[in-house]
Amino acid sequence: MITGKGITKTFKQRGSVLAGREVQALRGVDFEIPKGGAVSFIGESGCGKTTLGRIIAGLETYDGGEIGINGTLMSSLKQKQRQPYFRRIQMIHQDPYSALNPTRTIHQTLYAPLKLRAKQTGRDEKWIDERAAEVLSLVGLDPGSVLSRYPHQLSGGMRQRVVIARALTVDPEVLVADEAVSMIDVSLRLGILALLKDLRERLGVSVLFITHDVATSRYIGDDGEMYVIYRGQVVERGPVDTVIADPVHPYTQSLLSAIPVLHGLEEPGAQPVVPVEAMDGSQEAQGCLFASRCPFRQDRCETERPVLQVTEGAPQEHACFYPERRDVIARPMSGV
């Protein structure tokens, strides 16, 4: 289980115009990825979801807060000692084209981490070859035809499967999928999503899904937890289907309202929420971070910042003074 408490991260802008200006990417985020569980982070680009994912995968440092991996607090360890812990958390990058070294065959790509693993556990070359074939079969690829190939000889979907296979070579506990299907052909996306779901069920790997496409995050399983992140703060959190079907935070509602409606198949929700302006991360607010864009803001929202709290009579938490259920998502037309 991976836990996070009050994670903060501030980026300093570089360059001449914005030099020295600070951007708060994360403002004290708590999270919990249960063993074998599924969690998704959703939000607009620049909301901090990717930064958080990278922090969890150990690819980025954080300024404040505490991360615990299976009960071990990372702050109690030196930088070098953390590495084996973070190795159990593997990142699946968005772009399968840059995630594989174009000069190395799939065999070489899988061999290097397996060799390391074999050395740690005292296994031989034969095990490496068997395991390479095994992880490829796990992700639905035929080892015989894939091993000797170079990445450019594979389609986007196959590359992403190889990337997942490579992550599996270290027996990870968590897979962090950062927009893992957004660069893959539409007809193949579902295959990758199904694979992640399947790995969860078969291997008990937890999946952290980072996406701006809300509907795909449903695919990780209905026991999944969804975190809606806005400007570095979790504004709503709860079971995936609850947050999608019964959102109470206006930001979640505007995200859901923006999803294209398949006219002819679906009817738009009755109460769509449209933000009154575009996101402007440069303006610091004293009160609610979403207040300037919120169509329902009250005076209190300008001066006081709401914290994540439990919704009465609902399973999710939210950070809004005036939570209200609104009917925002498209639903299938009757008779279709």
Q: Which is nearer to another protein, 28 or 46 (CB)?
A: 46
Indicate whether 81 belongs to the interface with another protein (CB under 8 A): no
Indicate whether 222 belongs to the interface with another protein (CB under 8 A): yes
Indicate whether 62 belongs to the interface with another protein (CB under 8 A): no
Q: Which is nearer to another protein, 14 or 299 (CB)?
A: 14
Considering only the stretches 96-104, 284-292, 298-306, 318-326, report the one whose residues sit in contact with another protein under the rule CB under 8 A. Answer: 96-104
Site residue total, another protein (CB under 8 A): 90
Position among 214, 234, 301, 308 found at the interface with another protein (CB under 8 A): 214
Task: Give the 3-state secondary structure of residue 277.
Answer: coil
Indicate whether 171 belongs to the interface with another protein (CB under 8 A): no
Q: Which is nearer to another protein, 32 or 241 (CB)?
A: 241
From CA 206, how far away is CA 229, in angstroms rounded?
20
Give the chain's radius of gyration (CA, Å).
21
Helices 186-203 and 156-168 cross at an angle (nearest 10°) of 20
Q: Which is nearer to another protein, 5 or 82 (CB)?
A: 82
Position among 32, 129, 267, 327 found at the interface with another protein (CB under 8 A): 129
The answer to whether the beta carbons of residues 100 and 162 sit under 8 Å apart is: yes
CB of 186 to another protein, least distance (A): 6
Considering only the stretches 33-41, 72-80, 127-135, 313-321, report the one whose residues sit in contact with another protein under the rule CB under 8 A. Answer: 127-135
From CA 172, how far away is CA 194, in angstroms rounded?
18
Pick from 290, 285, 249, 273: nearest CA to 328: 273
Position among 73, 190, 307, 310 found at the interface with another protein (CB under 8 A): 190
Report which DSSP code applies to 264: T
Backbone phi, psi, residue 90, to 5°? -110, 135
Indicate whether 144 belongs to the interface with another protein (CB under 8 A): yes
Q: Which is nearer to another protein, 15 or 299 (CB)?
A: 15
From CA 306, how far away is CA 137, in angstroms rounded?
48
Per-residue x/- marks for another protein, 268-307, CB under 8 A? Answer: ------xx--xx----------------------------
Q: Per the structure block, which two tokens stand in for 322?
A: 């005036």
Indicate whether 104 belongs to the interface with another protein (CB under 8 A): yes
Pick from 152, 156, 154: nearest CA to 142: 154
Q: Which of residues 14-43 bind another protein (CB under 8 A)?
A: 17
Indicate whether 71 belongs to the interface with another protein (CB under 8 A): no
Position among 20, 71, 260, 313 found at the interface with another protein (CB under 8 A): 260
From CA 36, how far away is CA 19, in angstroms rounded?
43
Q: Is the dihedral of CA 30, 33, 37, 39 positive or negative?
A: positive
From CA 316, how far away is CA 206, in angstroms rounded?
21
The answer to whether the beta carbons of residues 321 and 306 sit under 8 Å apart is: yes
Position among 24, 50, 51, 90 found at the interface with another protein (CB under 8 A): 90
DSSP-assigned states of every residue in 74-85? GGGS-HHHHHHH
CB of 303 to another protein, least distance (A): 25
CB of 151 to another protein, least distance (A): 8
The answer to whether the beta carbons of residues 132 and 166 sit under 8 Å apart is: no
Position among 1, 23, 138, 170 found at the interface with another protein (CB under 8 A): 170
